[in-house]
Structure 1
Amino acid sequence: MDPLALIELSRCVAGTGPQREIEGGVHPLGISLSRRLERMYGQRIAHLDALVRREMLRGALDGIESGPAAGRLHRVRYRMQDVDEAVAHGLLLVDSVTGDFVFRHPLVRSVLVQLATPNERRAAHAQLARVHRHDVERRAGHLAVATIDPDDEVAAAMEEAARSATRRGGAATAVAWLTRAAELSEHAADRSRRLADAAFVAGQSALLDQAQELLDRSSACSGVAASSATVITSAYRGLYQDGDVKSTHHRVVSAIDSLREWVPSSPRAGA
Structure 2
Amino acid sequence: MNRRAQFLEVLGIPAEWVPRRLAEASVEVETKVEVATVAVAEVEVEVAMPAPAAPPRSVVIEALSPQPAVQDEAALARDAAIAAMDWAALEAAVAQCTACGLSDSRTNTVLGVGDRRAEWMLVGEAPGENEDLQGEPFVGQAGKLLDNMLGALGLARDRNVFIANVLKCRPPGNRNPEPEEVAHCEPFLRRQIALIRPKVIVVLGRFAAQSLLRSTTPIGKLRGTVHQYEGIPVVVTYHPAYLLRTLTDKARAWEDLCLAREVHDRAGAEA
Q: Normalized against structure 1, the TM-score is what? A: 0.28
Indicate the structure with greater helix content. Answer: 1
TM-score if structure 2 supplies the norm length?
0.28
| Larger-gyration structure (1/2) | 1
| Larger RCO (CA within 8 A; separation ≥ 6) | 2
